């Protein structure tokens, strides 16, 4: 399969970040679907299976990204999820997916700090899609 065969769901309430992420993914050759809120994303997930999802952590709720990870993985356990956030930069609260305990409640396959360069994002996406 080639990149254009994959559709990536991108969810973020920061329009600038959402636009930049979609632009980078589409430039790399992927198809994208966007949502600007947890509620909008939940409606999409109910009727559409993405090949990969990228969720912001804090949207309407401080844990919107965690909730979306859980709901997507419950319905489509095989779909890889990237959790992208600036929470560590903004709050000083840091977490990772390094321990089994953290992976047990954070249902993401990758955790990325916002500000990732387009080529880094593409590398992570390619790893998760096994391209």
- High-pLDDT (> 90) share of the chain, %: 66
Quick check: helix, strand or coil at residue 50?
Answer: coil
Query: What confidence score (pLDDT) does residue 102 get?
Result: 47
Give the DSSP letter string of 64-128.
Answer: HHHHHHHHHHHH-TTS-EEEEE-HHHHH-----S-SHHHHHH---SEEEETT--HHHHHHHHHHH
Which range of residues forms the domain containing residue 101?
Answer: 3-129
Q: What pLDDT is stored for residue 100 in this prediction?
A: 56
Whole-structure pTM value:
0.86
- CATH number at 95 reads 3.40.50.2300
Number of domains in the chain: 1
Q: Residue 38 pLDDT > 70, yes or no? A: yes
Say whether pLDDT at 23 is over 80: yes
């Amino acid at each position: 399969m080639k990149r254009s065969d994959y559709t990536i769901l991108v969810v973020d309430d920061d329009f600038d970040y959402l636009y930049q992420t979609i632009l980078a993914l589409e430039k790399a050759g992927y198809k994208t679907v966007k949502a600007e809120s947890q509620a909008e994303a939940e409606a999409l997930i109910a009727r559409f299976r993405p090949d990969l999802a990228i969720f912001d952590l804090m949207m309407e709720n401080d844990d919107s990204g965690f909730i979306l990870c859980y709901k997507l993985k419950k319905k489509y356990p095989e779909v890889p999820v990237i959790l992208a956030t600036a929470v560590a930069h903004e709050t000083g609260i840091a977490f990772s997916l390094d321990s089994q305990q953290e992976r047990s409640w954070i249902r993401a396959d990758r955790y990325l700090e916002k500000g990732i360069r387009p080529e880094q994002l593409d590398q992570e996406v390619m790893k998760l899609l096994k391209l």
